[in-house]
Copies of this chain bind each other. A is one copy, B any other.
Amino acid sequence: MDRRNDRALRARAEVVIPGGMFGHQSTALLPDDYPQYFVKAKGAHLWDADGGKVLDLMCAYGPNLFGYGDEAIDAAFIAQLRQGDTLTGPAPVMVELAETLVDMVGHADWALFCKNGGDATTMALTVARAQTRRKTVIRARGAYHGSTPWCTPRTAGVLESDRAHQILCDYNDVASLEAAVAEAGDDLAAIFAAPFRHDAFIDQAEPEAAYAARARELCDRTGALLVLDEVRAGFRLSRDCSWSHLGVEPDLSTWGKGLANGHALSALLGSDSARKGAEAIYATGSFWYQAAPMAASLEVLRRIRETDYLERLETLGERLASGLSERADAAGFGFRITGPGQMPLFLFDEDPDLRKGFFWSSAMLAKGVYVHPWHNMFLCDAMTEADIDQALDAAEASFAELRAAAPGLAPVAKMAFLSQTR
């Protein structure tokens, strides 16, 4: 693959951006032939800096829910931008958006808006502590709730004090949750939970009904608040909170990513059980009242309510998972597809440094399909059955290439840390 333009951009970036790139979109832990830069996007497709076009199964790590450059959503954004966006106060669209979210999300009685998913999770933390006048929060080991010091997964520059009054438990492990609650004693402010286990590098796991129900019971018993972190999964699994099908409602839920289909908007939703805490805290931002992303979000939410996008995502996800499973079996690979169909993660059996995963992902990319070797992916409503079939054809050929290459695959040095830490 010709990566001349991408390499040139990387070389320039090495000079003016620490490490050449930062954060979750860095390709540092991806196969070497992955492009770092993209110059164009439409629907379910991306164009890299060297003219390559790919079907994008990452969807911008989540924000792309209805397709890149969706005409109606962007038209709503631009119309509001022309009217007024970042002003000296909010626009009426903020009230309409809060009302709409409160109507759509079962537990929600109110909304606060912000820019990052981490703004919402940090506000949830602060609201819970203000509401309960307690300090301790429980979260699952390895779960991602943002990159602010209290929860960032890489802790250079972070102090122990930034993470004081936290107890870690194991996701889906009722006993470890109960032990954490016991350890918190009478100081438990909140239990944080992801809607399912979507940690990087490991198999995803659906939430166990008993775990979700126990989290709710323990909060009720202790007067703590249950926080469901929907930033990554929100509205991809449900038109309500992701645990509503389990009959479990949180006190606080955090939203971002696809909420405005890629426009910068996140939100903290809360029940009346947390309203006083929300009134007490002070959190704000220069762009938190931007009207244009809110107008875009109203169109996103209308689409969520009025179309069969969710059933389409489920059907596409099932088609992808079953088709991949068949093809992996036929090629003789243990290939684990975990998590919800519309947010799958792929891992090969017996692949501690991901050499199989890297080879196969690179082969997919060469056939025009962008997959991620260790992070969950995302489907979007702009995808078609033909797109999924393209991915399956690419997968079949890539499994065959891997079958031929497997005996001689070199170790992936940069992923060796995985076998050391697991």
Q: Which residues of A contact B (CB under 8 A)?
A: 9, 12-13, 15-19, 21-25, 27, 35-41, 46-47, 49, 56, 58-64, 68-69, 74, 77-78, 81-92, 94-95, 98-99, 102, 109-112, 115-119, 122, 125-131, 135, 147-150, 152-159, 161-162, 164-165, 231, 256-257, 262-264, 266, 270, 275, 277-290, 293, 370
Q: How far is the CA of A95 from the CA of B9 in the complex (A)?
A: 7
Contact B282 A153 (CB under 8 A): yes
Which residues of B are found within 8 Å of A289, using beta-carbon distances?
Answer: 23, 25
Pick from B109, B116, B147, B159: contact of A135, CB below 8 A: B159
Report which residue of A62, A278, A289 has the largest number of chain B beta carbons within 10 angstroms of its beta carbon: A289
Cβ of A335 to closest chain B Cβ, rounded Å: 22
* Given A17-B110, A99-B12, A87-B68 contact (CB < 8 Å): yes
Known: A25-B88, A156-B281, A157-B277. 13 other contacts (CB 8 A): A12-B95, A13-B94, A40-B83, A47-B84, A69-B84, A78-B81, A116-B116, A116-B119, A117-B285, A130-B157, A147-B282, A156-B282, A157-B281
Q: How far is the CA of A112 from the CA of B26 in the complex (A)?
A: 13
Q: How far is the CA of A297 from the CA of B148 in the complex (A)?
A: 25
Which residues of B are found within 8 Å of A257, using beta-carbon distances?
Answer: 286
Contact B40 A9 (CB under 8 A): no
